[in-house]
């Protein structure tokens, strides 16, 4: 027995070590894939934080600063303490020491995000301003720096602005430089770093089949020199083994300024197609040459796939029908807010993937570059969207800022094969049925801008109902429609889903449809043998999910579902059983506990063996001694034992009626999976009442 135990322990240790190596490799690849340019270094340490909303940068001798490391937010704790949290400005400061040689080329600061509007100063001079808290932006600082010590001051504010979405939301608007900062060095003649915060290079494959794929590469050359230069632009696509599969180049005289160039590449023969089960990636390397040497290089990922959303057939990928089994994700974590490291994003994406999901909606805003790179590598189909949620301001500044957010999102993330659709609004009629014409007009502009920036992907909207959206003709604007449905939580009952979703579809039958949100709140402390709507019990959450998944599987035209939400998330205004938290997650806010609902979904979506005896935290029963115990499993059959006695095997349903004994009761379920035997169980206590004695 000891030998077997030791061998098993050794195998477990080896498996753990291999998994850790795999995680490190995936993470390192994803981080490297989001650097894009050759000379990029993180600028995350050595910052000073001044929690002051003064209009001017703090004085040089201001000693009120607190040392911080980026990513950083000032709302990690106050959003949990009260409904009203700090929405104001603050200052960040850092010294940047440069040699004379380092000041000869071009220098840029890239902020991966700052919430929600920022001004960047270098040595007291304004370098750039940026509106929007969820996309990257770049400041060129070449003319503002000098050899020696330089001072970077950044004013960031999350104060509400009527010209900046989101205006009304069910999540926190965190302040701070909550994603990383990069220092980028480039030549005076090179590839542009000033393309809406993105890499400035993109490969487009409009016609893809298993036999061949077209390839077109777009790059922007930036010449800051006073005279024209003869240059050659070279693009090479390599597969995962490093073999070149397509190559093209062009030579031109590059005048001063920026100029977009398009290269028509040779078709790729028999491409390795990207999918959730086989996320094959290629590497596009674009180089710029002068007469003799490489002067600049940009590297981005590329993936080949073809897909279709059909109003009657749902979603297909690479010629095969795929039901989108998705979740939504917010980017914050308990007592940390959105100030996360790449390792945090990897943990989240792996947890989503391990549950069996094949799709992810990034709600309600663009997320970190690394998140998309991880979805590319681990295989998740992505719906990404801008933060146009619930309300608008009906004027041109608001519209222009929203359009800018859309263009930045697409420019920065269009090279990711995991993304299949761009979202342009969420529940714009939920707060008010007013301004419908203005809301539709803005949607039309956003839809047109999305197709102009990316003709290869459809657009999508998320509605909370159908009547107002149909009457206002909002449902005809986007290519796809998602519905946020909570029947059985906020109103009505579970069985209403099929009827109501069908009514929605009948109103706009020429569009493909998805369920973009559904969910119920739960609290690990709330356990009910007789759950009720909005009681926040794990049992009600599971009952709702089970009903929704059962119904969704029987709707042939439905492209997919996205559960709301994968993780509990911050919502300071909420006063539920855990104040300040939206509790609809399948996993707790701190990522420490997978709720019962996680295992329910995993048993429905994952191919990996799953066996889970439901309600392990419901440890005490009173009243009726006969109770039904459910098992969530994807195995062929399972056997339940009560106090060591078999209650029989089941191959469907997986629900046993158990007559509990007074006092402790041990429940244990087993199921074979190949050569392995899976187990799960726990002990409950039963106390008869006077009526049942």
Task: Domain count for the chain, please give it.
Answer: 5
Amino acid 226: pLDDT: 95
- Can you tell me the distance from the alpha carbon of 427 to that of 444, in angstroms, rounded to the nearest whole number? 16
Domain end call among 606, 628, 645: 606
pLDDT above 70 for 575:
yes
SS3 content of the chain, % helix, strand, coil (to 5): 20, 35, 40
pLDDT above 60 for 53:
yes
Let me know if residue 332 belongs to a domain.
no
Residue 509 burial class via C-beta count within 10 angstroms: exposed 0-12, middle 13-18, buried 19 and up: exposed
Please report how the helices 2-33 and 342-354 are oriented relative to each other, as an axis angle in degrees rounded to 10. Answer: 120
Amino acid 690: pLDDT: 59
Tokens read off for 136: 């990257």
Let me know if residue 117 belongs to a domain.
yes
CATH number of the domain to which 587 belongs: 3.20.20.80
Band the pLDDT of 492: cuts 50, 70, 90: confident
Shared domain for 384 and 413, answered yes or no, is: yes
Amino acid 466: pLDDT: 78
Shared domain for 466 and 572, answered yes or no, is: yes
Shared domain for 176 and 260, answered yes or no, is: no
Shared domain for 579 and 668, answered yes or no, is: no
Shared domain for 651 and 589, answered yes or no, is: no
Secondary structure letter of residue 560 according to DSSP: E
Let me know if residue 624 belongs to a domain.
yes
Residue 263 vs residues 216, 221, 228, 298: alpha-carbon distances, Å = 6, 13, 21, 15
pLDDT in tens, 509-558: 999 999 999 999 999 999 999 999 999 999 999 999 999 999 999 999 99
Let me know if residue 475 belongs to a domain.
yes
Shared domain for 428 and 460, answered yes or no, is: yes
pLDDT above 80 for 11:
no
Amino acid 494: pLDDT: 84
Percent of the chain with pLDDT over 90: 92
- Sheet strands (E) in 99-211: 106-111, 117-122, 125-131, 137-140, 148-157, 181-186, 189-191, 201-204
Shared domain for 6 and 54, answered yes or no, is: no
Let me know if residue 370 belongs to a domain.
no
300-313 mean pLDDT: 98
Considering only residues 276 and 3, tell me which one the structure prediction assigns the higher pLDDT: 276
Please report how the helices 2-33 and 369-378 are oriented relative to each other, as an axis angle in degrees rounded to 10. Answer: 130
Shared domain for 558 and 649, answered yes or no, is: no
181-186: strand order across its sheet: 40-42, 181-186, 106-111, 137-140
Shared domain for 586 and 649, answered yes or no, is: no
Task: For 657, list phi and psi in degrees, rounded to 5.
Answer: -90, 125
- Can you tell me the distance from the alpha carbon of 350 to that of 374, in angstroms, rounded to the nearest whole number? 9
pLDDT in tens, 308-336: 999 999 999 999 999 999 999 999 999 99
- Can you tell me the distance from the alpha carbon of 151 to that of 167, in angstroms, rounded to the nearest whole number? 33
Amino acid 18: pLDDT: 58
CATH number of the domain to which 671 belongs: 2.60.40.10
Let me know if residue 340 belongs to a domain.
no
Band the pLDDT of 252: cuts 50, 70, 90: very high
625-644 mean pLDDT: 97
Let me know if residue 322 belongs to a domain.
no
Shared domain for 442 and 545, answered yes or no, is: yes
Amino acid 518: pLDDT: 96
Q: What is the mean pLDDT of the chain?
A: 94
Shared domain for 490 and 599, answered yes or no, is: yes
Let me know if residue 345 belongs to a domain.
no
- Can you tell me the distance from the alpha carbon of 295 to that of 189, in angstroms, rounded to the nearest whole number? 7
Which residues form the domain of 227? 195-302
Shared domain for 411 and 560, answered yes or no, is: yes
Active site (catalytic) residues: 427
């Amino acid at each position: 027995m000891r030998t077997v135990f030791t061998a098993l322990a050794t195998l477990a240790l080896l498996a753990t070590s291999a998994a850790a190596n795999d995680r490190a490799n995936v993470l390192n690849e994803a981080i490297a894939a989001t650097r894009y340019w050759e000379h990029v270094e993180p600028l995350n340490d050595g910052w000073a934080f001044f929690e002051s909303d003064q209009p001017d940068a703090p004085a040089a001798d201001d000693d009120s600063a607190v040392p911080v490391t980026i990513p950083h937010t000032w709302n990690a704790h106050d959003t949990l303490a009260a409904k009203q949290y700090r929405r104001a400005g603050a200052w960040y400061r850092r010294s940047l020491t440069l040699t004379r040689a380092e000041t000869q080329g071009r220098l840029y600061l890239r902020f991966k995000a700052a919430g929600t509007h920022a001004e960047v100063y270098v040595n007291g001079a304004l370098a750039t301003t940026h509106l929007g808290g969820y996309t990257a932006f770049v400041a060129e600082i070449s003319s503002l720096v000098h050899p020696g010590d330089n001072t970077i001051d950044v004013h960031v504010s999350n104060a509400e602005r009527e010209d900046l979405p989101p205006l009304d939301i069910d999540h926190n608007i965190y302040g701070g430089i909550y994603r990383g900062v990069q220092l980028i060095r480039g030549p005076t003649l090179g590839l542009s770093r000033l393309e809406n915060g993105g890499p400035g290079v993109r490969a487009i494959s409009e016609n893809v089949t298993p036999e061949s794929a077209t390839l077109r590469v777009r790059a922007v050359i930036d010449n800051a020199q006073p005279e024209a230069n003869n240059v050659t632009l070279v693009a090479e696509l390599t597969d995962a083994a490093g073999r070149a599969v397509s190559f093209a180049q062009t030579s031109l005289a590059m005048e001063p300024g920026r100029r977009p160039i398009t290269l028509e590449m040779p078709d790729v023969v028999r491409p390795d197609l990207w999918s959730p089960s086989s996320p094959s990636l290629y590497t596009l390397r674009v180089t710029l040459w002068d007469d003799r040497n490489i002067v600049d290089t940009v590297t981005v990922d590329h993936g080949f796939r073809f897909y279709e959303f059909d109003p009657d057939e749902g979603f297909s990928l690479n010629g095969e029908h795929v039901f989108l089994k998705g979740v939504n994700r917010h980017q914050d974590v308990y007592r940390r807010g959105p100030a996360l490291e790449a390792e945090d994003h990897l943990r989240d994406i792996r947890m989503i993937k391990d549950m069996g999901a094949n799709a992810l909606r990034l709600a309600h805003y663009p997320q970190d570059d690394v998140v998309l790179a991880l979805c590319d590598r681990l295989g998740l189909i992505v719906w990404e969207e801008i933060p146009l949620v619930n309300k608008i301001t009906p004027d041109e500044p608001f519209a222009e800022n929203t359009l800018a957010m859309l263009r930045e999102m697409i420019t920065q993330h269009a090279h990711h094969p995991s993304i299949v659709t761009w979202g342009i609004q969420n529940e714009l009629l939920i707060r008010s049925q007013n301004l419908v014409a203005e809301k539709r007009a803005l949607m039309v502009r956003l839809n047109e801008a999305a197709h102009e920036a990316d003709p290869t992907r459809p657009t999508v909207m998320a509605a909370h109902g159908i009547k107002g959206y149909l009457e206002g003709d909002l449902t005809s604007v986007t290519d796809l429609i998602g519905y946020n449905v909570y029947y059985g939580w906020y109103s009505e009952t579970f069985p209403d889903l099929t009827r109501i979703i069908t009514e929605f579809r009948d109103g706009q039958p020429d569009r493909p449809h998805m369920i973009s949100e559904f969910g119920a709140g739960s609290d690990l402390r709330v356990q009910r043998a007789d759950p009720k709507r909005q009681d926040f019990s794990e049992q009600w959450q599971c009952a709702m999910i089970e009903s929704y998944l059962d119904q969704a599987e029987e709707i042939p035209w439905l492209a997919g579902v996205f559960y709301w939400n994968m993780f509990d998330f911050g919502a300071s205004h909420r006063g539920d059983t855990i104040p300040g938290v939206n509790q609809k997650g399948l996993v707790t806010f701190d990522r420490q506990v997978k709720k019962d609902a996680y295992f329910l979904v995993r048993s429905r979506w994952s191919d990996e063996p799953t066996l889970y005896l439901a309600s392990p935290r419901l440890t005490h029963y009173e009243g009726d001694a006969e109770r039904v115990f459910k098992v969530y499993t994807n195995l062929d059959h399972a056997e339940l034992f009560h106090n060591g006695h078999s209650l029989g095997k089941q191959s469907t349903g997986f629900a046993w009626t158990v007559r509990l004994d007074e006092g402790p009761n041990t429940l244990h379920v087993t199921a074979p999976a190949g050569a392995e035997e899976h187990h799960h169980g726990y002990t409950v206590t039963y106390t008869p009442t006077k009526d049942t004695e």
